Structure formats: C-alpha cells, structure tokens
Amino acid sequence: MLLLVGLGNPGQEYSGNRHNIGAMAVDEIVRRHGFSAPNTRSRPQGVFSEGIIDGVKVTTLKPLTYMNDSGKAVGDAMRYWRLEPQDIFVLHDELDLPPAKVRAKLGGGHAGHNGLRSIDSHIGKDYWRVRLGVGHPGDKGRVTGHVLRDFSKADKQWVDKTLDAVADAIPHLLNSDSSAFTSRVALLTQPPKATKSQDDADASSESKKER
C-alpha cells in the first residue's frame, strides 16, 4: 500500500488558501480515480480515502492536525499501516517554484516549510515530496499572509489545470518515475500553441499598428 498525503489546514476557512494546494490535489486525485468517499478517523488523525491506481492500493490522507503538526498524523499513519517512508508521497505548496510548476523527488530538506519540518521530525527525510508551485510574494515578511490567503479568481485557471494534471500523471510517480510524472504535468499545463491563422492575424495587426 502507498500513502498520498495532501498538506493543508483543516476547516472551511482555510480550504481555498495557497497553503492548502496539497490537500486540493489529493481531493482531485480522489475524484479522478474513483476513490471511496472521504472518512474521518481519530487515529491516525485525518481524512482518508482508499482506491486503486494502476493495480496498486493507495490511501490518501489529509491531516487534521494543522500544518505545523502534520508529522503527527503522517507518523501515526505510517506506523498504523506498517509503511516505510519511501511508501509515502507528500503533496505541498512550494514558494520557490512559480505558479503551475511542479517538481517531485525522494528525500531532501524542508526548505523552511513547517509541514515538512514536522514530518521530518516524525518519520525522517526519506519520503517523496511533490512540490506544487504557488510563487513567492517577493518579501520574506509577506510569506505568511501570502500562503494563508485564498487563490484569486485570476489564479483559478492555472490552479485547476495544475490539479487536473497532477491527478492525471500521478500513476507515474507511484511507480517511482518522477521524471515521467513531471514531464506529463508540464505537457498538460503548457499554454496552448497559437494556430497559424492566429499567428498571421497577430502579425497583420502589428503591421497595421506600424503604418
């Protein structure tokens, strides 16, 4: 069995925050792959769903311990199901990636992310991290307000496309092929290419402006 963890803060007031994009991604995976209806458990403390992806049993977890204590729920789940850290895939927001960029790797540091810091302290560092770019506000002092603010209406298009791409590509990652996973996500999130007729129309428009 593999465990997919979507980081975020519990409660409706946080559900649209940038900090909750990991939890949003797990929700989309549950929807796309026909997992069981989410259910809440007191131990491990979180919201769980179960399903099969490419013949592999997968359980999703959205911790109810708040971001800074995510490791408690993840550690309890790992021990409850007798998993190894490399069986765990943590999806989380990433300030150091531009919006819509996604990266994945096994192991690494927490880079100041409090959710990852907590998980590291409970299970070590040898788990998979799926970094979902939300962009940086440009000033360290604005980081907290940035991640705890809802995505704007203008963000909706790229957010929806990213979540859909992650749900589509997740079978690659569950097979430990991070390169195929990120390549598939990049392909699905790239802007549509302009058609030749559109290019000609744009060129014509620019030509008229120069006259």
Model pLDDT for residues 162-202, shown as the tens digit of each residue: 999 999 999 999 999 999 999 999 999 998 776 665 555 55
Domain ranges of the chain: 2-210
- The DSSP symbol for 7 reads -
SS3 of residue 113 by DSSP: coil
The DSSP 8-state label assigned to residue 9 in this structure reads: -
Superfamily of domain 2-210: Peptidyl-tRNA hydrolase (3.40.50.1470)
110 is catalytic: no
3-state secondary structure of 157: helix
Q: What is the pLDDT of residue 170?
A: 98
DSSP H or E segment with residue 61: strand 56-63
**What is the band of 111 on the pLDDT scale with cuts at 50, 70, 90?**
confident
pLDDT of residue 105: 96
Which of 17-31, 42-56, 69-83 shows the lowest per-residue confidence on average (mean pLDDT)?
A: 42-56
Residue 42 has a pLDDT of 73
pTM above 0.85, yes or no: yes
User: Is a pLDDT exceeding 70 seen at residue 208?
Assistant: no
- Indicate the helix (H) or strand (E) that contains 73: helix 70-80
Considering only CA atoms, which of 139, 127, 135, 132 is closest in space to residue 89? Answer: 127
* Distance separating alpha carbons of residues 130 and 182, to the nearest angstrom: 10
- Which of 19, 113, 146, 172 is flagged as catalytic? 19
Do 94 and 132 meet the contact criterion of CB atoms below 8 Å apart?
yes
Predicted local distance difference test score (pLDDT) of residue 202: 56
Q: What was the pLDDT predicted at 196?
A: 61
Q: Quick check: 58 and 4 in contact, CB under 8 A?
A: yes
Question: How far, in Å, CA of 20 to CA of 11, rounded?
Answer: 11
Question: What are the pLDDT digits (tens) for 147-158?
Answer: 999 999 999 999
